[in-house]
Amino acid sequence: MSSILKELESHVNHHQARVKGTSLHYVTGGLETGPVCVLLHGFPQNWLTWRYVIPKLLSTHKVIAIDLKGYGESDKPSDMESYDTSIVASEIYELLQYLKIKEALIVGHDRGARIARRLALNSPDVVAGLIFIDILPTEYIYGDLSAADAATKYWHWTFQVVNGLPEELIKGKEDIYLKFLLSRGDGLFNLLQSDGSWEAYLKSWMQPGAVLGALNDYRATYHIDLPRYEIEATSKRMLDKKTLILWGEQGNLHSLPVLDVWKRSITNITGHQISGCGHYIPEERPDEVANHIKQFSKSINWSE
């Protein structure tokens, strides 16, 4: 284990909790009585996404970083239906109830931000505010992107929903596929190698059920979440939580109308593009992410 990861481990505690029949792994750290910040990672990673952000929040917040179902050390069911964001969000909600947390700032990167969105829609009482990192609405990606943008920025959103084929093509080449995914940033893969997180990510990715779980995560998005969001868009259902969106200048959202798109479904949203940065913002620009979290947290009208 690298010195960076050893230092991180000295500041957090690992836990496992069973909620609604699912075992979730999470780590905690920071101020026991401070405002709660919940960190939700994206594909194809786990809680280590936040390894550089967590230490910068420990003096101001109680931090909870969760391995989403299908990732890390959390359960990896084999059926697609288990990855319905409503189900996953309800598990996060039940975990917060188990921890006796009444309200939290929910910060999500990539897939984690999609769970955060659904959590806020279905269980707004537990959400003090939201930070989405480098995502656009599911319904926009499948319904409004040009074929060119989809092919260059969101190709895995179509490849991974194909039934049965992706897992066969990835089998025996799991490391190649993961390296390709984690090389979509300037110098990112070198960073992962140097600090030991590549080995940790690969070990997690090679666990039984991990690849299938990630694929089913995307399949559920297409077959279950997308139709739900399309219905909610027709009925003009809006998310009424103060929300900040961060995106990378060189990431998937580059040149797209980020805030205009989100204003279709969120009433109170601000945003900031982070210069010189790709998709994996918590790892590429952790100082900026931590500063945004702290400043946004101060702007929230916490109930307590």
Catalytic machinery residues: 110, 279
Partners of 37 in beta bridges: 63, 105
CB atoms within 10 A of CB 189: 16
The DSSP bridge pattern shows strands 104-109 and 243-248 to be: unpaired
Report CA-CA distances (Å) from 214 to 62, 71, 78, 205, 219.
28, 7, 10, 9, 9
How far does CA 118 lie from the centroid of its chain?
A: 12
Separation between Cα atoms, residue 93 and residue 90, nearest integer Å: 5
Cα→Cα distances 34→15, 25, 59, 97, Å: 19, 22, 9, 17
| Dihedral sign computed on CA atoms, order 187, 193, 196, 198 | positive
**Exposed / middle / buried, residue 298 (Cβ in 10 Å: 0-12, 13-18, 19+):** exposed
User: What is the spatial order of strands in the sheet that 243-248 belongs to?
Assistant: 13-19, 22-30, 62-66, 36-40, 104-109, 127-133, 243-248, 269-274
Residue type (1 letter), 112:
G
Q: Report d(CA 81, CA 225) in Å as an integer.
A: 10
Q: How many beta carbons lie within 10 A of that of residue 231, not counting itself?
A: 11
Q: How buried is residue 187: exposed, middle or buried, by Cβ count under 10 Å (0-12/13-18/19+)? A: exposed
